[in-house]
Amino acid sequence: MVIEEISEIDMAGKELLIVTGATGGLGKEISMYFAALATKDKGLYPILCCRNKDRAEELRECVEILGLSSNDYAIFLTDLSSSSSVDELATRIKSLNLPIRVLVNNAGSMFGNYQTNAEGIEMNMAVNFYAPARLGEMLASNVAHKGSIVNVVSLTRKHVDIESGFLKGNPNLYTRLGNYSKSKLALSVFTADMAARYPNIHINGVDPGVMNTKMIKMDRWFDKLADYLFRPFTLKPSQALKGIQAAYQNTADVSGYVFTRKKYFPMEKKTANHPLRQLIQATVCNSVK
């Protein structure tokens, strides 16, 4: 796994703005937002985490058009479907010894068929739950006082439930949207749990709404129909960014909440007090060093 080196510059006094899935629909908006903040405040240092080198190069061009130079930010390449890559990313970030102003766990994926990673974890769970939960847990002690971990969740968490074998799932019951939603429910439960365990930092979810991004393309015949009937009513990622900005600014000083682009509210009790909360916590916490 390639992780780009940060050029030898004086990083003293800087705070990190970290986003995963930086090249995606919402991720690119977040990256540009962080870049714009860093052009105004030299104390902020964006770390843009991507998995695809070519897309990372395109992102680099966009960021530098805004006025950042290569000394002002870093792009880290990492594939979050593997736990060892998540560990490597956390170690790399920790080695900078800088406070984290915000970590936005934005990377996400939806898989057409049941598949597992090298550890046997169902892929939606691996990318959408296990990776962000472990990354957040490993980096929590580096988050600045009143800094934030922001987990991008989904409204679909409310329409499914998870069982004790949730990490591996059941191939016979697999559905694309169903298993994606289960992974977002697990991440939401963990968000509420972490918020209770780390009272000195903010840990919140953002529900961005239905956005017109690569994620909602099904690669099926009805995509063309959806282009006319459905997509015009979805949000642009630039609109959904408002929820991320609100969670980052967090003017109400809340934790364990869900932000949308229009409001914020405590994580619903059904999710926050999910019967598997202890198991979910143990699954993540027992796996981190």
Ligand X SMILES: NC(=O)c1ccc[n+]([C@@H]2O[C@H](COP(=O)([O-])OP(=O)(O)OC[C@H]3O[C@@H](n4cnc5c(N)ncnc54)[C@H](OP(=O)(O)O)[C@@H]3O)[C@@H](O)[C@H]2O)c1
What are the residues binding ligand X (CB under 6 A)?
21, 23-27, 51-52, 55, 79-81, 106-109, 127, 152, 154, 208, 210-211, 213-216, 237
CB of 245 to ligand X, least distance (A): 15
CA atoms within 13 A on the CB side of 68: 30
The nearest distance, CB 165 to ligand X, in angstroms, is 22
Please state the closest distance from residue 111 (CB atom) to ligand X, in A: 10
Pair 236, 211: CB distance under 8 Å: yes
Residues in the chain: 289
- What is the rounded distance in angstroms from the CA atom of residue 114 to the CA atom of residue 216? 18
In whole angstroms, the minimum distance from the beta carbon of 19 to ligand X comes to 9
Q: Which is nearer to ligand X, 14 or 211 (CB)?
A: 211
Closer CB to ligand X, 14 or 82, in the complex? 82
Q: Residue 92 CB, nearest distance to ligand X (Å)?
A: 15
Q: CA-CA distance, 85 to 32, in Å (whole number)?
A: 25
What is the C-alpha separation between 87 and 204, in angstroms, rounded?
22
Nearer to ligand X, 14 or 181 (CB): 181
Q: Which lies closer to ligand X via its Cβ, residue 14 or residue 28?
A: 28
Instruction: Name which of 14 and 185 has its Cβ closer to ligand X.
Output: 185
Contacts of 197 (CB under 8 A, 6+ apart): 281
Residue 41: CB minimum distance to ligand X, A = 25
Smallest gap from Cβ 69 to ligand X, in A, equals 23
Q: Which residue is nearest to ligand X (CB)?
A: 24
SS3 122: strand
Toward ligand X, which CB reaches closer, 23 or 204?
Answer: 23
Helix (H, G, I), strand (E, B) or coil at 74: strand
Question: What's the half-sphere exposure (Cβ side, CA atoms, 13 Å) at 180?
Answer: 17
10 Å Cβ neighbour count for 122?
Answer: 25
**Residues 202, 203, 209: CA angle, nearest 5 degrees:** 120
Separation between Cα atoms, residue 204 and residue 153, nearest integer Å:
10
Nearer to ligand X, 14 or 32 (CB): 32
CB of residue 145 to ligand X, shortest distance in Å:
27
Contact 100, 143 (CB under 8 A): yes
Instruction: Cite the beta strand spans of 143-249 per DSSP E.
Output: 143-152, 202-206
Measured between alpha carbons, how far is 250 from 259 in angstroms, rounded to an integer? 9
- Cβ proximity to ligand X, 115 vs 200, nearer residue: 115
